[in-house]
Structure 1
Amino acid sequence: MTAMAPARTETDLSFLLDHTSHVLRTQMAAALAEVGLTARMHCVLVHALEEERTQIQLAELGDMDKTTMVVTVDALEKAGYAERRPSSTDRRARIIAVTDAGAEMARHSQEIVDGVHRAALNTLPEDEREVLVRAMNRLVGGHLATPAEAPQQARRARERTN
């Protein structure tokens, strides 16, 4: 007797979410690369413009480890988009300040990010777009809001930026 694979009783939601997320990230990376940015660089610029934030705070928002954050800020400094400065509220802390050129790049890169998202959503009929976004927001805010404790921690998803 040959063993048979068990029949699937539910849609493979993990595959659908992983695949769409992976492809969206590659499209985002390619679009931002055209202006010399990475998704992480974009993330740091936008979050640093929102309010005065330290490198550690920005790393947490962008789900970056310390080394990745240092490399990202170094690249932003080299490009003239950001600089490390003393905090206005705590002289011991260093914040990431966005330059005028960085603020302009952040506006441009946000248009690129919005365009990638728009292009993906525009492949769906308008009524399905609204349903998908509403359903995804309900999952993210509800059942899939908090990762389960696993014996070996799975790679953490990036925090939502808007």
Structure 2
Amino acid sequence: MTAMAPTRTAPDLSYLLDHTSHVLRTQMSAALAEIGLTARMHCVLVHALEEERTQIQLAEIGDMDKTTMVVTVDALESAGLAERRPSGRDRRARIIAVTETGAALAGQSQEIVDRVHRDALTGLDRGDRDTLLRALGQLAGGHLSAPADTPGATRRARQSRK
């Protein structure tokens, strides 16, 4: 049977990106859990601090569906890290406002995120790091900036729970 397998003509880019992304996410989750946050909570806190943003805008930035966003904001509110407030720009809209406690924790979480990212690249020499980041930035901002239209929804890989 193996003799019938097609010969690869290029490295398996999908595997390389999926695998490294999955491992990076698990490392990030473990590191943020040490201060009681998830990656989604970190994302909401940091982006809500940048400017006045609605829950819908933050969900788009964090690539979250409505249900996941509601659960995330509920958890932030329960922890006293953020709250829903009327927008100063549009009375019909509600924004996510970060509390002082949430802002302090967002500072800690950003330090953790930066450390995890730095550690992820330690296996590469400086030139390779710069090249990798530049190339990924070009792909993310160009050819791979938006998903392809497909007849059926393409699902993201499910993370295993241990």
Give yes or no for TM over 0.5.
Answer: yes
Deviation at 1:137, TM superposition (A): 1.2
Question: Larger deviation: 125-134 or 40-49?
Answer: 125-134
Question: Larger deviation: 87-96 or 20-29?
Answer: 87-96
Alignment match, 1:32: 32
> 2:53 corresponds to which letter in structure 1?
R
**Structure 1 residue ranges without an equivalent (≥5):** 158-162
Aligned residue runs from structure 1 range 1-162, under 5 A: 4-155=4-155
Question: Larger deviation: 21-30 or 1-10?
Answer: 1-10
SS of aligned partner of 2:40: helix
The alignment-based identity, stated in percent, is: 75
Q: Sort the Cα spacing of 1:2 and 1:58 in 2 relative to 1 into closer, same or farther, 3 A.
A: closer
> 1:76 corresponds to which letter in structure 2?
L
Determine the C-alpha separation between the residues in 2 that align with 1:145 and 1:88: 32
SS of aligned partner of 1:150: coil
Determine the C-alpha separation between the residues in 2 that align with 1:155 and 1:2: 29
Output one character per residue of 1:5-43: Cα deviation in whole Å (capped at 9) or x when no partner.
110011100000000000000000000001000000000
Alignment match, 2:160: none
> 1:5 corresponds to which letter in structure 2?
A
Alignment match, 1:160: none
Determine the C-alpha separation between the residues in 1 that align with 2:34 and 2:65: 25
Structure 1 runs of 4+ aligned residues shifted over 6 Å read none
**Structure 2 residue ranges without an equivalent (≥5):** 158-162
Determine the C-alpha separation between the residues in 1 that align with 2:142 and 2:58: 25
> 2:97 corresponds to which letter in structure 1?
A
Instruction: Give the alignment's TM-score, normalised by structure 2.
Output: 0.91
Deviation at 1:153, TM superposition (A): 2.1
SS of aligned partner of 2:4: coil
SS of aligned partner of 1:24: helix
> 1:114 corresponds to which letter in structure 2?
D
Deviation at 1:147, TM superposition (A): 1.7
Instruction: Give the alignment's TM-score, normalised by structure 1.
Output: 0.91
SS of aligned partner of 1:136: helix
Determine the C-alpha separation between the residues in 2 that align with 1:12 and 1:38: 30
